[in-house]
């Protein structure tokens, strides 16, 4: 790619805007400094060798939006898969994307809050990457983050908190990848015609392509929708009716083919980007949330945005405990009881307060009563949203596991924690 003197490094600008919402500065170099090439998000030249991509989607599910600059190709997807599972991508070689986004947990990490590569605690719970391509915005509460290519800069280059910790190590990480013959070959195949394809821009593009391709529409609920009446148990069917009832209101916020109101698709005429306060906290009687997790207010500075978060997809939700943006609810049954009460009262401690009485809480979270059987039914419905094929699909799995003898993740730091899936369960 030809160098340009223009400074409209929009990828970089996007990351800054994604990150300063925490009120923090990030010196984000990305490829601009490290490769001596200014990144301009112009479309790749149409290349002869890039193969087309086929979405395999059930009827009624439109393809997700894909930026013109970064079309889907099988080569980029496969490269992105390797990068996603490669600890060499973090500054100190101890953490991969997959450390916090584990396939067997629908790409979450099982912790209330994630721990970054340098041991820093993230204020938030690792999000599931189920059908992430259709999300209208990314992360738990950022209306400005609307492209995966922008979002992926956050774990790579974010410093508050440090996740992958690449800042200051940009060249080191590129050198690690350039030293690997397999990457030289894979980057060349994914970005044909580029003289030096191992760049941060292309790393981000490949990771975005992989995460965009993480697709899950094969749960018992999907099979029921496709006409298999017996795919859902009688209990799950009763739970489904409760979920979609006006008494419970769940479906207003967890709606549509991805069970999230914050859903978009290719060619969408109107994109809704909803965020809600569900009454988890009310520290001061005026609706305050803990200072490190104020939701959309951190971006907009609007006091009315206090505690507003994106409604997550409920697909694979039985695999993604603990729950909510800060992992503060341990089980699905407790989540249901939280909605029954119409918010959460915290009796003691620094966050004491009655979320049920928060003036900022959505009117759709007003509480209801369930019998024990109805609660079990609703739980059975939520469990019917688990797609076993998603968490076992080899296309999404760790490519380094197949050949442990050549596992490059091991060679980098001997004491690195293992990336092997935790086979003991959730
Ligand atoms: C230290 C753990 C950690 C690492 C490493 C990590 N993530 Fe995340 N990821 C998170 C957390 C926590 C969130 C929620 C962030 C927020 O709301 O501010 C998240 C959110 C995301 C999202 C947004 C999902 C959505 O529904 O909006 C994507 C996409 C994502 N991560 C991809 C990646 C990729 C790709 C990598 C590797 C480059 C990566 N993550 C590395 C913890 C991590
Ligand atoms: C007003 C909109 C709204 C309604 C109504 C609503 N939810 Fe939610 N739901 C949300 C939001 C927003 C979050 C994330 C809140 C947070 O993290 O602070 C959430 C989180 C969840 C989670 C946790 C998901 C995760 O990945 O951590 C589950 C489970 C859930 N809701 C189920 C339900 C059920 C069941 C109902 C009906 C009883 C329901 N919701 C009603 C908006 C809503």
Cβ–Cβ < 8 Å for 264, 63? no
Distance 136 CA to ligand 2 centre (A): 16
Quote the tokens at residue 400: 């380094």
Instruction: Give the number of domains in the chain.
Output: 2
In this predicted structure, the answer to whether residue 341 has a pLDDT above a threshold of 80 is yes
35 plus 179 within the same structural domain: yes
36/156: higher pLDDT? 156
Q: Which two structure tokens, joined as six digits, stand for 362?
A: 């959505």
Tell me what pLDDT residue 153 has: 97
Residue 49 confidence (pLDDT): 58
Residue 388 lies in a domain: no
Structural domain includes residue 151: yes
Residue 105 contacts by C-beta under 8 Å, 6 or more apart in sequence? 319, 320, 391, 426
Q: State the closest ligand 2 atom to the C-alpha of 280, by its place in the atom list counted from 1.
A: 18
Whether residue 359 sits in one domain with residue 238: yes
Contact between 355 and 361 (Cβ < 8 Å) = yes
* Ligand 1 neighbour 140 (Cβ under 6 A): yes
Q: Please give the number of the atom of ligand 1 that sits closest to the Cα of 164.
A: 5
Q: Are residues 277 and 337 in the same domain?
A: yes
Asked whether residue 195 falls in the same domain as residue 250, the answer is no
Buried b (16+ CB within 10 A) or exposed e, 27-53: ebbbbbbbbebbbbbeebeeeeebeeb
Both structure tokens of 128: 């599931």
pLDDT of 141-158, one tens digit each?
Answer: 999 999 999 999 999 999
> What single-letter DSSP state applies at residue 133?
G
> How far apart are alpha carbons 318 and 382 in whole angstroms?
7
Q: Judge if 203 and 224 occupy the same domain.
A: no
| Model confidence band, residue 43 (pLDDT cutoffs 50, 70, 90) | very low
Pocket probe for ligand 2: among 312, 327, 329, 385, the residue whose CB has the most ligand atoms within 8 Å is: 312
Q: Does 423 reside within a domain? A: no
Do 108 and 243 share a structural domain?
A: no
DSSP-assigned states of every residue in 363-426: TT-------HHHHHHHHHHHHTT--HHHHH-GGGS-TTTT-GGG-HHHHH-TTPPP-S--TT--
> Do residues 209 and 225 both lie within one domain?
no
Do 86 and 196 reside in the same domain of the chain? yes
In a domain, 33, yes or no: yes
Q: Is the pLDDT of residue 9 over 50?
A: no
Please give the pLDDT value at position 77: 98
* Nearest atom within ligand 2 for CA of residue 326: 17
Closest by CA to 131, choosing from 322, 255, 399, 314, is 314
Structure confidence at residue 380 (pLDDT)? 98
Ligand 1 mean position to 127 CA, how many Å?
A: 6
Per-residue pLDDT tens digits for 115-132? 999 999 999 999 999 999
Ligand 1 neighbour 135 (Cβ under 6 A): yes
Within a domain: residue 1?
Answer: no
Ligand 2 centre to CA of 171 (Å) is 41
Residue 408 Cα to ligand 1 midpoint, Å, equals 22
Q: Examine the domain organization and report whether 169 and 67 are in the same domain.
A: yes
Mean pLDDT across the stretch 47-61? 81
pLDDT band at 412 (very low <50, low <70, confident <90, very high): very low
**What is the reported pLDDT for 409?**
45
Residue 162, in any domain of the structure? yes
* pLDDT value of residue 41: 37
CA of 291 to the centre of ligand 2 (A): 21
**Domain check: are 39 and 161 in the same one?**
yes
pLDDT, mean over the chain? 87
pLDDT score for 34? 32
Mark whether 183 and 77 lie in a shared domain.
Answer: yes
* Phi and psi, residue 102, nearest 5°: -95, 130
Any domain includes 422: no
Count CA within 13 A, CB hemisphere, residue 239.
21
What is the domain range of residue 246?
220-383
Question: Does any ligand 2 atom lie closer than 6 A to the CB of residue 362?
Answer: yes
- 417 within some domain: no
User: What CATH number does residue 31 fall under?
Assistant: 1.10.760.10
Q: Is the Cα dihedral 337, 339, 345, 346 positive or negative?
A: positive
pLDDT at 15 over 50: no
Q: Which of 383, 402, 421 corresponds to the end of one domain?
A: 383
Where helices occur in 94-233 by DSSP H, the ranges are 97-100, 148-151, 153-157, 170-178, 181-190, 200-212, 220-225
358 and 256 in a single domain? The answer is yes
């Amino acid at each position: 790619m030809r160098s340009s003197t223009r400074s409209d490094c929009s990828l970089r600008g996007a990351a800054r805007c994604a990150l300063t919402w925490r009120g923090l500065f990030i010196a984000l170099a990305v490829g601009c400094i490290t490769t001596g090439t200014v990144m301009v998000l112009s479309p790749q030249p149409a290349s002869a060798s890039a193969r087309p991509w086929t979405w395999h989607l059930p009827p009624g599910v439109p393809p997700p939006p894909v930026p013109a600059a970064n079309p889907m190709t099988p080569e980029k997807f496969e490269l992105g898969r390797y990068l996603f599972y490669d600890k060499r991508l973090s500054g100190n070689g101890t953490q991969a994307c997959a450390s916090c986004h584990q396939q067997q947990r629908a790409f979450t990490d099982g912790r209330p809050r994630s721990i970054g590569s340098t041991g820093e605690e993230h204020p938030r719970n690792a999000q599931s990457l189920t059908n992430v391509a259709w999300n209208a915005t990314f992360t738990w509460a950022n209306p400005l983050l609307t492209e995966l290519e922008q979002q992926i800069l956050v774990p790579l280059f974010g410093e508050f908190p440090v996740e992958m910790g690449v800042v200051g190590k940009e060249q080191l990480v590129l050198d690690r990848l350039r030293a690997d013959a397999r990457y030289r070959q894979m980057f060349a195949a994914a970005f044909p015609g580029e003289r030096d394809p191992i760049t941060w821009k292309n790393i981000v593009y490949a990771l975005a392509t992989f995460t965009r391709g993480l697709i899950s529409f094969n749960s018992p609920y999907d099979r029921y929708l496709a006409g298999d009446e017996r795919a859902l148990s009688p209990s799950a069917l009763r739970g489904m009716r409760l979920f979609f009832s006006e008494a419970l209101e769940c479906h207003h916020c967890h709606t549509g083919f991805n069970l999230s109101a914050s859903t978009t698709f290719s060619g969408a005429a109107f994109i809704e980007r909803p965020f809600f306060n569900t009454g988890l906290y009310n520290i001061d009687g005026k609706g305050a949330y803990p200072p490190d997790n104020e939701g959309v207010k951190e971006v907009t500075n609007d006091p009315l945005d206090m505690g507003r978060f994106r409604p997550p997809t409920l697909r694979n939700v039985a695999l993604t405990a603990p729950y909510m943006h800060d992992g503060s609810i341990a089980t699905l049954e407790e989540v249901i009881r939280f909605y029954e009460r119409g918010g959460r009262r915290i009796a003691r401690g620094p966050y004491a307060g009655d979320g049920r009485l928060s003036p900022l809480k959505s009117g759709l979270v007003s509480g209801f009563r369930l019998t024990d059987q109805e609660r079990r039914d609703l739980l059975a419905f939520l469990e019917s949203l688990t797609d076993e094929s998603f968490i076992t699909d080899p296309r999404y799995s760790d490519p380094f596991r197949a050949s442990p003898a050549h596992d490059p993740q091991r060679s980098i730091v001997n004491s690195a924690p293992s990336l092997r899936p935790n086979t003991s369960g959730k």
